[in-house]
Amino acid sequence: MTKVLVINGSPRKGEGNTAGILAPFIGGMEDAGASVELLYAADIEARDCLADFNCWFKNPGECIQKDGMQEVYPKIREADVLVLAMPVYIPIPGCMANFLNRMCPIIEPELEFRDGRTRGRRPGNVKLSKLVLVSTSGWWEVENMGIILRIVQELTMNLGVEFGGAVLRPHAFILSENPDEKEKIHGSLREAGRLLMEQGTMPRELLDSISRPLLSESELRERYNRSYQRAKGN
């Protein structure tokens, strides 16, 4: 049975748009027989990384800080797939930034030069073979999530594991206003989760259907601008 660890990095935890996208995606993975555990980065309460490299050069693989991450490290090491889910902030929520920075003990610092870059690698005691990104944003264009995509891809390459794909949903809040589109996209999300577990990948056309625009750029921009002007007039 494939073991999946999902980290929801939204400070709104189970009430946000990220949770709304994650639920059917997780459902699809479970349909395929995966064992899925969901954690909230805000509940982990990871402290800032101290950047002392104790986990690399003094006690490899062991973080000196004793906080919520100590319970999470074994879960990461035992998972086959790690799903990182987060909304776009500037650039990402603080709780998720701390979590990602504290991934350092999961990277083995026996450096290699791969694909033109200096990289670490996955330690022998880490089963993890695949990272997947799930991201939401309020902006119209899917390119708004480019910085988060790059962060997760960099982590994937430093670990030397496979990037399983990115499930991206721009202007995610619009789904709550359009039940028909919400049902269609949730169906695609469930299918994406199932195929990820069964085939190890998600078809490009399916991911594109999840990311497709639900209104025009000008409509969304004008809507935001009207809200700003109302607030400015108060």
Amino acid at 24: P
d(CA 141, CA 50): 35
Is 234 a residue whose pLDDT tops 80?
no
Which CATH number is 3-233 given? 3.40.50.360
pTM: 0.95
Taking the CB of residue 225, how many other CB atoms lie within 10 A of it? 10
Compute the average pLDDT of residues 47-53: 95
Q: What is the pLDDT of residue 87?
A: 97
- Can you give the residue ranges of every domain in the chain? 3-233
Counting residues of the chain whose pLDDT is more than 70, the rounded percentage is 100
Q: What is the pLDDT of residue 121?
A: 86
Contact 195, 201 (CB under 8 A): yes
pLDDT band (50, 70, 90) for residue 120: confident
Is 88 a residue whose pLDDT tops 90?
yes
Amino acid at 65: Q
Residue range 130-188, pLDDT digits in tens: 999 999 999 999 999 999 999 999 999 999 899 999 999 999 999 999 999 999 999 99
Q: How far is CA 20 from CA 17, 57, 134, 173, in A?
A: 5, 41, 11, 10
Q: What is the pLDDT of residue 89?
A: 95
The structure tokens listed for 101 are: 């920075």
Q: What is the pLDDT of residue 122?
A: 87
Q: What is the pLDDT of residue 233?
A: 82
Phi, psi angles (nearest 5°) of residue 132: -130, 140
